[in-house]
């Protein structure tokens, strides 16, 4: 073999090694730039996610606080109405209070029942009193109705609060 051939082969091998080394270095630098850009992009996404999470948590805590206030108000109203109802039911049942109603075209069974001028000549209003147990039953229906009204009011307030917070569409 000729020394030139060996020198040529050696020079070619060195050239290939230098070419691959240079390409590897250039590719490594491009990869490093791409990795840095990806890291910056991921950091930006993480910052936006953290900001959105913080905002969502604050919104959720505000909604929870508002719902808690609504629930407390509802429970307080139910408690007040319940105690009032029990008080009036007991007084109606005991005969301490009487349920007075407006009547027309009737006359009292006896003068002691307390109907005032029933069926008077000038058609003025007359009043009578409902029998105690019947009055208690009527009052209980009214108390139950008030409980349902309280529930609906609390539900409407809750939905309105959720709409204002953006959790429920309008």
> Which of 99, 104, 95 is CA-nearest to residue 129?
99
Q: What is the pLDDT of residues 72-129, one digit of tens each?
A: 998 998 899 889 888 988 888 888 888 888 888 766 565 555 444 444 455 567 888 8
Q: Is 54 helix (H, G, I), strand (E, B) or coil?
A: helix
- pLDDT score of 41: 94
Task: Look at residue 65 and tell me whether its pLDDT is greater than 50.
Answer: yes
Residue ranges of domains in the chain: 3-165
Return the bridge partners of 46, or none: none
Q: What is the pLDDT of residues 1-45, one digit of tens each?
A: 788 788 888 888 888 888 888 888 888 888 888 989 999 999 999
Spatial neighbors of 19 by CB under 8 A, at least 6 apart, are none
């Amino acid at each position: 073999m000729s020394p030139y051939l060996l020198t040529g082969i050696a020079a070619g091998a060195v050239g290939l090694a230098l070419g691959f080394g240079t390409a590897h270095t250039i590719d490594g630098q491009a990869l490093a730039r791409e990795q840095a850009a990806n890291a910056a992009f991921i950091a930006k996404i993480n910052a936006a996610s953290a900001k959105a999470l913080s905002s969502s948590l604050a919104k959720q805590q505000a909604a929870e606080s508002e719902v808690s206030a609504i629930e407390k108000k509802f429970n307080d109203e139910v408690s007040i109405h319940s105690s009032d109802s029990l008080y009036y039911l007991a007084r109606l049942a005991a005969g301490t209070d009487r349920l007075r109603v407006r009547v027309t075209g009737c006359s009292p069974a006896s003068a002691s029942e307390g109907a005032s001028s029933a069926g008077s000549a000038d058609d003025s209003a007359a009043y009578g009193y409902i029998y105690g147990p019947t009055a208690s039953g009527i009052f209980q229906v009214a108390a139950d109705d008030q409980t349902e009204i309280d529930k609906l009011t609390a539900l409407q307030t809750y939905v309105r609060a959720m709409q204002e917070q953006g959790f429920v569409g309008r």
